């Protein structure tokens, strides 16, 4: 019996497509505290330099939204038991946004709260997370520092930046709605270490070392930047991948080529003077000039980034002493002979052009 075609899922497909259409450019403005605990500093640098655009399928984007929507319920649950929860900074009326001294590293706390039964008088920053059943079981067994080191590092970075001594980690198992809580103490040493790590990434002009050169290494297999890092794929062209751009104070970006500050829009657009940061090119730098850099690629070919090389001027002249051909490439000469001729057939460089001969062929000195 012929098998039935799979059921059409036009509506679900349309919902996912709508999420994808509404997604942002896939580049994060700042280096986020939520990822600073990542072991591979190189992946952080790639993210900060927008080497790979984050493109998520509609289903995944919806899953992210599930996590955001859960925050309101966590807040309601805490208020239900009398905890005072400030979702926004009362001074600004906006989200609790934190930035380090560079202005390029930070994030947003989910809330700040006081009145927990365990420590009623102590302000805590709140971190709300949703977990799969497997992740939740591990969280219960090992605690947040061991089972979710990125979440722990995120809270340490926030405590360091906000000057708050306690964090309250509240998590839910998406399968059962069971809750998990953990109070986390501020570890000053860890906080300072994370801020120093962020500053190194922000100011690094080159990517840090790889955590592994083996593409099969588990962290590399999960890494968004594997294609650029290990497979020789080109990074995208924009100011963040350009060697003229640098992160400057106050979370701003500056272009040394044009001597201007770069808005977010400028950065995404880039310009025709873009030159890749050499470490983003899978080749060896062999030559450079104003507005161009040449690389030898792994296959032996040469690739020129930036202004295209001018086509060599070729002129007819008397037969080559070596091969008899009569076409020559014009190059710079010396002394009374301003131009040197190189045979296009055999590469012999035995002929010269004086000013008068050059002028008669329309070649300007």
Q: Which residues bind ligand SF4 (CB under 6 A)?
A: 40, 42-43, 46, 210-212, 219-220, 223, 225-226, 229-230, 239, 242, 244-245, 255, 257-258, 270-271, 273-274
- H or E element at residue 95: strand 94-99
Q: Tokens 């051909």 correspond to what residue? A: 325
Task: Report the residue number, 143 or 208, with the smaller CB distance to ligand SF4.
Answer: 208
Vertex 207: Cα angle to 203 and 213 (nearest 5): 155
Best CA proximity match to 109, nearest among 39, 36, 168, 189: 168
Task: Report the residue number, 289 or 319, with the smaller CB distance to ligand SF4.
Answer: 289
Output the smallest distance, CB 208 to ligand SF4, in A. Answer: 9
Output the smallest distance, CB 276 to ligand SF4, in A. Answer: 10
Eight-class DSSP state of 309: P
Task: Report the residue number, 87 or 236, with the smaller CB distance to ligand SF4.
Answer: 236
Output the smallest distance, CB 44 to ligand SF4, in A. Answer: 8
**250 Ramachandran zone, left/alpha/beta (phi>0; psi -120 to 50):** left
What is the rounded distance in angstroms from the CA atom of residue 318 to the CA atom of residue 314?
13
89 - beta bridge partners? Answer: 94
Task: Report the residue number, 180 or 217, with the smaller CB distance to ligand SF4.
Answer: 217
- Residue-by-residue DSSP string for 128-193: EEEE-HHHHHHHHHH-HHHH-HHHHHHHHHHHHHHT-SEEEEEEEETTT--EEEEEEE--HHHHHH
Output the smallest distance, CB 280 to ligand SF4, in A. Answer: 12
Task: Report the residue number, 220 or 247, with the smaller CB distance to ligand SF4.
Answer: 220
Output the smallest distance, CB 243 to ligand SF4, in A. Answer: 7
Output the smallest distance, CB 257 to ligand SF4, in A. Answer: 4
Task: Report the residue number, 35 or 70, with the smaller CB distance to ligand SF4.
Answer: 35
Best CA proximity match to 32, nearest among 124, 209, 150: 150
**Does residue 323 sit in helix, strand or coil?**
coil
Task: Report the residue number, 46 or 50, with the smaller CB distance to ligand SF4.
Answer: 46
Output the smallest distance, CB 255 to ligand SF4, in A. Answer: 3
Eight-class DSSP state of 114: E
């Amino acid at each position: 019996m012929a098998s039935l075609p799979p059921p059409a899922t036009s509506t679900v497909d349309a919902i996912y497509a709508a999420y994808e259409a509404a997604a942002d450019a896939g580049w994060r403005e700042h280096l986020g505290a939520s990822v600073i605990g990542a072991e591979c500093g190189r992946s952080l640098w790639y993210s900060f330099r927008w080497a790979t655009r984050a493109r998520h399928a509609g289903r995944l984007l919806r899953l992210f939204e599930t996590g955001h929507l859960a925050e309101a319920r966590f807040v309601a649950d805490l208020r239900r038991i009398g905890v005072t929860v400030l979702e926004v900074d009362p001074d600004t009326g906006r989200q609790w946004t934190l930035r380090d001294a560079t202005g390029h590293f930070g994030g947003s706390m989910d809330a700040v709260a006081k009145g927990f039964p365990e420590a009623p008088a102590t302000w805590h920053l709140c971190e709300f997370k949703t977990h799969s059943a497997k992740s939740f079981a591990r969280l219960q067994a090992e605690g947040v520092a061991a089972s979710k080191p990125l979440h722990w590092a995120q809270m340490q970075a926030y405590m360091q930046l906000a000057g708050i001594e306690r964090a309250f980690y509240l998590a839910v198992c998406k399968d059962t709605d069971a809750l998990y809580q953990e109070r986390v103490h501020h570890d000053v040493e860890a906080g300072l270490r994370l801020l120093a790590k962020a500053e190194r990434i922000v100011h690094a002009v080159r990517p840090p070392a790889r955590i592994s050169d083996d593409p099969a290494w588990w962290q590399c297999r999960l890494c968004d930047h594997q294609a650029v890092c290990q497979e020789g794929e080109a990074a995208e062209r924009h100011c963040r991948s350009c060697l003229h751009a640098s992160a400057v104070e106050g979370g701003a970006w500056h272009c040394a080529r044009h001597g201007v500050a770069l808005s977010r829009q400028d950065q995404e657009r880039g310009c025709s003077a873009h030159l890749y940061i050499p470490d983003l090119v899978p080749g060896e730098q062999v030559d450079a000039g104003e507005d161009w850099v040449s690389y030898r690629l792994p296959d032996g070919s040469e690739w020129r980034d930036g202004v295209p090389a001018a086509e060599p001027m070729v002129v007819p002249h008397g037969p080559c002493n070596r091969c008899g051909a009569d076409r020559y490439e014009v190059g710079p000469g010396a002394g009374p002979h301003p131009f040197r001729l190189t045979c296009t057939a055999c590469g012999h460089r035995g002929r010269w052009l004086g000013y008068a001969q050059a002028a008669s062929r329309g070649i300007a000195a």
